[in-house]
Amino acid sequence: MFPQLDPTEATYLARMIVSILGVLLFLTFAVWMIRRKQKTIKTDADAIGSSDGTKAAAPAVALEDNSERHITLEQAYQTWKAERLLQSEDGRSLFVRAGVEKSGLRYQLVANAQVQAFAILLSTLMSERDPQAREQAEALFASLLAHPAYGEGGLSSWQYLPDLPRSPRLDPDPHAEAWLIHALLTATKRLPEMRRFNYSELIQARTLALNKYIENQDPELRGQFPFCGYLVTQLKTYLPDLDWSGLGENQELFYSQMEEPGFFDAKRDVSWLGLSLLQLGMLAFFEGDPKSADVIRKALPGLLQLVEDCMNNAATQTEFSPSAMLACLVPALLTFGDQKIDERVWDRLIILQPEKNDGLGATLKLLGMAWLMGIR
């Protein structure tokens, strides 16, 4: 016979039993969750270790570092968007400030095709982290469409005043136009939802117009363009029947120049050198071209000295700033696979703060950081 309990005692006993069962249930659930988490971590670690033949502990640190770098990159990118992307007078296009110029009695902000092309490429590369990337890339392109070149309606003015209703029409920049075509091809491939313009028609027409414009240029003027080995491979892939030999320095000639003693000591146009080395590195690292990679290996001492010059130079000139040059060296440096050099360049790019008119340096800086993170 069970002892008889009064209602108060029975209620108290029931509550005690329910509380004990609740605690036991919670402990059981907690133990299950802990074991499940440990099993998941072990499985992930084993998978990482088996994929590269190393112990699981080493990649874990690398993954943590990458996570921190991704956060740093995204923060720098958001700062670039907030500070560098400006809305044009029409309210439907964007531009990156590349300087200031006096027009009449007023000073006007300046934009140029080269910076716009790099900005479209940067927006595309960051599209997985930026839900506004599509609209942003299209608005940047809209600014170029609104400012056609003098006598070349299918191309854009190399420089323009986006806030001036009737900005003067100037000649096109073939090098910038080639970058723009590459950026648009990359954007339409990665962002198929782009619908603001008829891109297939515009890109083809622009490519044909650029090819025709280059063919009509004086041979001496062609030699002033930077080395365009990487862009030529992209254009040949897109329209293989066109001749692009007139775009930039002859490939073999540029290689032979780089192998000459004192190439990096000679007084050269800094932007020409930086943009040439950028494409040389992209051709070697992104396209896996063995000849360009060999040229880079032979030029290692000069490239490393150029890196040191950028590291030690605190100048903020807008013509071609240290941040622009250092970013242009990134693809070439990646061919060496030297992690210490890559880390130094990463740290320096974070520190460098291009001044307000240096849209080129600010945009290339972000591109360099993205390439160092393997985003391309």
Q: Are residue 260 and residue 137 in the same domain, yes or no?
A: no
Q: The domain that contains 178 carries what CATH number?
A: 1.50.10.10
> Which one-letter DSSP state was computed for residue 121?
H
- In this prediction, residue 158 carries a pLDDT of 97
Q: Kindly state whether residues 250 and 211 are assigned to the same domain.
A: no
Q: Are 354 and 365 in contact (CB under 8 A)?
A: yes
Q: Are residues 157 and 265 in the same domain?
A: no
Please check whether residue 78 lies inside any domain of the structure: yes
Residue 225 CA: distances (Å) to CA of 42, 199, 202, 228, 330: 54, 26, 24, 8, 21
288: tokens are 């896996």
Handedness of CA 171, 319, 96, 373 (dihedral sign): positive
Mean pLDDT per 10-residue segment, the chain (376 residues) = 56 65 64 52 38 35 66 96 93 94 86 98 96 97 97 96 90 97 97 95 98 88 85 96 85 89 86 96 97 95 93 66 96 95 95 94 98 94
Establish if 225 belongs to a structural domain. Answer: no
Domain identity same for 181 and 247: no
Same structural domain for residues 252 and 355?
yes
Please check whether residues 207 and 332 belong to one and the same domain. no
20 found inside a domain: no
Contacts of 249 (CB under 8 A, 6+ apart): 223, 225, 226, 227, 228, 257, 276
Residue (of 229, 232, 239) closest to 206 by Cα position: 239
Helix axes 300-312, 322-334, angle to 10 degrees: 150
Q: Is there a domain that residue 17 lies in?
A: no
Chosen domain end from 216, 244, 266? 216
pLDDT value for 268: 83
Q: How far apart are CA 40 and CA 119, in angstroms?
A: 40
292 and 344 inside one domain = yes
Number of domains composing the chain = 2
pLDDT of residue 91: 85
How open is the CA angle 133-228-226, to the nearest 5 degrees?
105
Give me the long-range contacts of 22-29 (CB less than 8 A, separation at least 24).
none
Asked whether residue 227 is assigned to any structural domain, the reply reads no
Q: Are residues 359 and 277 in the same domain?
A: yes
Residue 51, in any domain of the structure: no
Secondary structure element (H or E) that encloses residue 94, with its range: strand 94-96
Measuring CA to CA, which residue among 178, 357, 186 is closest to residue 286?
186
Tell me the C-alpha to C-alpha distance, in Å, between residue 194 and each of 9, 90, 115, 132, 178.
73, 20, 21, 12, 20
240 and 212 in one domain? no
Q: What global pTM score does this model have?
A: 0.82
Q: Are 85 and 212 found together in one domain?
A: yes
Do 98 and 178 lie in one domain? The reply is: yes
Predicted local confidence at residue 42, as pLDDT: 40
Q: Report how far residue 299's alpha carbon sits from residue 347's, in angstroms, rounded to the nearest whole number.
A: 23
Does residue 230 form part of some domain?
A: no
- Structural domain includes residue 362: yes
Locate 348 and state its tokens: 């320096």
Containing structural domain, residue 104: 74-216
CA distance 159 to 113: 6
Tokens linked to 147: 């400012």
Q: Based on the fold, state whether residues 168 and 114 are members of the same structural domain.
A: yes
* pLDDT at residue 66, rounded to an integer: 75
